[in-house]
């Protein structure tokens, strides 16, 4: 019995550290240089978003600003980091729901993405048990920028 007692604090610490781990990445703005005027890039961006089925909530062609409505999608670990639960990524868990809002600023030759991911996880009874902090890795934005540019970006 005396041998077990000193080990209890260590076991408790190990049990607590194995659960939830927040995203590793920090939120970042992703900027891509793409040939074209603000007007051309703005129209291409609207076309690409429409083709992807993404609803635009607000747009200002004079300022080159586009904001999408929150939309739910399935994301890969390479696109979105929502943290892990016992090393299993939340983003791949079928009980997790992730929504995204894209804030896009367009100037002559440049597209800037400021992306907001929102997630939640539901328990076995279907009730939300955790709001997820989710951070973009930039892969999703890079794919959209590639569609706008008409080519794959490195």
pTM, to two decimals: 0.81
Confirm if 34 and 111 have CB atoms less than 8 A apart.
yes
Q: What are phi and psi of 113, to 5 degrees?
A: -110, 125
Query: What SS3 state is found at 50?
Result: helix
Q: Looking at the DSSP assignment, which residues form a beta bridge with residue 71?
A: 100
Domain boundaries, the chain: 20-149
Pick from 10-19, 84-93, 134-143: least confident = 10-19
Give per-residue burial for 129-140: e unless 16+ CB within 10 Å, then b: ebebbbbbbbeb
End-to-end CA distance of the chain: 60
> Quick one: three-class SS letters along 59-89?
EECCCCEEEECCEECCCCCCCEECCEECCEE
CATH of 20-149, one of 3.30.70, 1.20.144, 3.30.530, 2.30.30: 3.30.530
Pick from 49-63, 119-133, 138-152: least confident = 119-133
Q: What are phi and psi of 123, to 5 degrees?
A: -80, -175
Q: Which residue has the higher pLDDT, 130 or 6?
A: 130
Provide the pLDDT confidence category of residue 14 given band limits of 50, 70 and 90.
very low
| Rounded mean pLDDT, 36-60 | 96
> What burial class does residue 67 get, using C-beta atoms within 10 Å of its C-beta: 0-12 exposed, 13-18 middle, 19+ buried?
middle
Give residue 59's pLDDT: 97
> How far is the CA of 29 from the CAs of 53, 62, 104, 116, in angstroms?
23, 21, 10, 10
Q: How far apart are CA 100 and CA 96, in angstroms?
A: 13
Question: Using one digit for the tens of pLDDT, what is the confidence trace for 74-102?
Answer: 899 999 999 898 888 988 888 889 999 99
Please state, for a pLDDT cut of 70, what percent of the chain lies above it: 86
User: Which strand (E) or helix (H) includes residue 142?
Assistant: helix 139-149
Give residue 153's pLDDT: 57
């Amino acid at each position: 019995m005396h041998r077990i007692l000193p080990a209890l604090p260590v076991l408790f610490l190990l049990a607590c550290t194995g659960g939830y781990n927040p995203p590793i990445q920090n939120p970042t703005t992703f900027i891509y240089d793409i040939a074209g005027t603000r007007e051309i890039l703005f129209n291409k961006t609207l076309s690409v978003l429409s083709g992807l089925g993404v609803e635009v909530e607000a747009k200002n062609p004079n300022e080159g600003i586009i904001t999408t409505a929150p939309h739910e999608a399935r994301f890969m670990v390479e696109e979105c980091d929502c943290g892990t639960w016992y090393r299993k990524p939340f983003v791949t868990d079928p009980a997790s729901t992730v929504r995204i809002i894209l804030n896009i600023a367009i100037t002559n030759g440049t597209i800037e993405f400021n992306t907001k991911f929102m997630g939640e996880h539901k328990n076995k009874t279907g009730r939300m048990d955790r709001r997820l902090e989710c951070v973009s890795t930039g892969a999703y934005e890079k794919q959209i920028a590639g569609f706008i540019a008409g080519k794959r970006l490195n």
